[in-house]
Structure 1
């Protein structure tokens, strides 16, 4: 029986175990401690920003970012439609309304023209999504934001190690947010980060992520007894130092992990080229794709469910791409976004991770070709 090829798989080992041992030895396991501080400094270098804040997950980072940018009840935030609903949910958590914009048909991030068309007098900002890690069109989006007096935020959940016009993901907007979920390019199983160059925004986010006060480490070693005062309601959005230790090891791995994913993407592109009725994803020359996922587009006449079932029966994990957020009933969105809706029904994610071998890629593509060739009943 053939081994199953997983859809995603973390790359972890002795380095991560040693990092955890060091955190144990430090005696500080809880959130926002010295290991978190070290990770934040390292990750700010990756993102090319002055500040990074480690968070419990990307959803909490999104919420913090929107809060410190000032989104609130009565406001509208334009959101790239093709994304996991954490993006839209985070807008709702502030009391603001997400207004979804249709996407480019090639790289699936928000179409700048659709973003501008969605602006109303209630719009306060734009929340762009780097779909599967490939950065959105930040030069055009910045021009739109500046023209209309809006802030710009980057959902870089999948984008660690990506770049746009030579600038790293995380530095492309006023605030950016990352995910370290188990399927992401670097991972502690869960976790996230907020990055920014704005010291005031960073300080406010750090306060909110610890219930509305400075983290306990700021009082470590004090010779008196400082008692914090709560003047703003915050949250418990801290990353544990255990997870931060794992993330330090993962950041060390990042260059190799990126190269391995990009190599797997090249193998896929070569093998998929002769395959009819399947379109490989586009990677634009002016940005570096980190390949958090590898998502193909099936021709409309193909039965995606049947193809997915065949792949899974033959040991190849797969899934749909992501969500056309505007069709989710939670949002009550009125309007049609045809490109996002169409791709929501035709995208298929096939295995992508840094441990993929060339033989596994061959098997995935061969199994996909056999699935497509199955007679339709």
Structure 2
């Protein structure tokens, strides 16, 4: 259908193509090269940190963060439950045990009281999630971490350009991680970043992300023939210089992309604010929301599946929100987190990206209104 309103859509064009052409001409296409180093320096200004490392995706950045923070087999990490399971998976990859904490019913990030209740003598850290980009409660989480002698990590997968009490996402914990997947606010199709103010963590992550040695770029121009040696097993978590070149353009676009998403969110709020049976997402006044997604909470009387089918039939793409991680079989079950479980059943994401026109926002809102007020879509 040619007039479908896409759920998500990247904003890319001639500038990105030119940047890729320049990398092709340079002869350095592989990972951890000059374009990656330039992107990393530029990204520190977005994240507000001393160090940034470009990675193959957010999952690899999460894994690196947990590794350099010292997670070992059997260690417990308290994880905000309402998130794509890459967050919990990264704890498993490190040999740790994810212990999920229930979330706030308004902004859907980890409830600080639930986080503190989940801490045991085996807990080593807290992994908070900025759900759909809005930062979690980092002042409260930092106080809990300090009280219990734990580290704090920020899953900022959706959060490029967000702020919390005047501080940028990426600088709100000991380590933060970002995603540049195709549905994120800035994208190279795939990719990620690791950020921190700690030089020791940054250096260790850089070593691990290239199999356990310094990247080849650091040996360029040497007067002799340096032969690195391997003293620990690392990974191939590098971002290609092709993707880094795209990301450099995306960083220049970021202010305009954020402004466009915020206009779309404001349009939805105006057009859907009085709609019965639907609760709109909350943007707290002490933080800047980047609106990676726009997620509606449907009344329990609505059949979400029927609503989704009806929206798609009328050319409005939609999807569920994200996952109640504790319900996923890979984690073994056993926890009961009612807020997250309820959100998992009732959330519906509608189109949100920087290319949305005012007419499309109006069309989406009108279609949502028609569908949810139709008695045929009740349970």
Q: Which residue of 2 aligns with 1:260?
A: 260
Q: Which residue of 2 aligns with 1:217?
A: 217
Residue 140 of structure 1 and its aligned partner are, at CA, apart by 0.2
Equivalences for residues 359-374 of structure 1 within 5 A: 359-374=359-374
**Quick one: distance in 2 between partners of 1:71 and 1:283?**
33
Residue 373 of structure 1 and its aligned partner are, at CA, apart by 2.7
- TM-score w.r.t. length of structure 1: 0.99
Residue 2 of structure 1 and its aligned partner are, at CA, apart by 6.2
Q: Which residue of 2 aligns with 1:76?
A: 76
**Structure 1 residues 223, 350: CA separation in 2 closer, same or farther (over 3 Å shift)?**
same
Q: RMSD of the alignment, in Å?
A: 0.8
Does residue 282 of the first structure (1) align with residue 282 of the second (2)? yes
**Quick one: distance in 2 between partners of 1:13 and 1:365?**
28
Equivalences for residues 2-17 of structure 1 within 5 A: 3-17=3-17
What secondary structure, in the 3-state scheme, does the structure 1 residue paired with 2:194 have?
strand
- 1:1-29 deviation per Cα after TM superposition (whole angstroms, max 9, x unaligned): 76000000000001101110111111100
Q: Is the 8 A contact 1:99 1:333 kept in 2?
A: no
Residue 375 of structure 1 and its aligned partner are, at CA, apart by 2.9
What secondary structure, in the 3-state scheme, does the structure 1 residue paired with 2:38 have?
helix
Does residue 327 of the first structure (1) align with residue 327 of the second (2)? yes
**Quick one: distance in 1 between partners of 2:308 and 2:272?**
17
Q: Which residue of 1 aligns with 2:162?
A: 162
Q: Which residue of 1 aligns with 2:195?
A: 195
**Quick one: distance in 1 between partners of 2:293 and 2:175?**
23
- Once superposed, which parts of structure 1, at least 4 consecutive aligned residues long, lie more than 2 Å away? 373-377
Q: Which residue of 2 aligns with 1:186?
A: 186
Q: Which residue of 2 aligns with 1:136?
A: 136
- 1:34-80 deviation per Cα after TM superposition (whole angstroms, max 9, x unaligned): 00000000001100000000000000000000000001101000000
What secondary structure, in the 3-state scheme, does the structure 1 residue paired with 2:375 have?
coil
Equivalences for residues 75-114 of structure 1 within 5 A: 75-114=75-114
Q: Is the 8 A contact 1:52 1:193 kept in 2?
A: yes
- TM-score w.r.t. length of structure 2: 0.99
**Quick one: distance in 2 between partners of 1:375 and 1:340?**
27
**Quick one: distance in 2 between partners of 1:142 and 1:372?**
40
Equivalences for residues 242-257 of structure 1 within 5 A: 242-257=242-257
**Quick one: distance in 1 between partners of 2:333 and 2:152?**
22
Q: Which residue of 2 aligns with 1:317?
A: 317
The answer for unaligned runs of 5 or more in structure 2 is: none
- Across the two proteins, how many residue pairs are aligned to each other? 377
What secondary structure, in the 3-state scheme, does the structure 1 residue paired with 2:376 have?
coil
Equivalences for residues 13-28 of structure 1 within 5 A: 13-28=13-28
**Quick one: distance in 2 between partners of 1:94 and 1:102?**
22
Does residue 376 of the first structure (1) align with residue 359 of the second (2)? no
Residue 272 of structure 1 and its aligned partner are, at CA, apart by 0.5
**Quick one: distance in 2 between partners of 1:279 and 1:374?**
17
Q: Which residue of 2 aligns with 1:117?
A: 117
What secondary structure, in the 3-state scheme, does the structure 1 residue paired with 2:142 have?
helix
Q: Which residue of 1 aligns with 2:176?
A: 176
What secondary structure, in the 3-state scheme, does the structure 2 residue paired with 1:125 have?
strand
- 1:317-339 deviation per Cα after TM superposition (whole angstroms, max 9, x unaligned): 00000000000010013121000
Q: Which residue of 1 aligns with 2:47?
A: 47
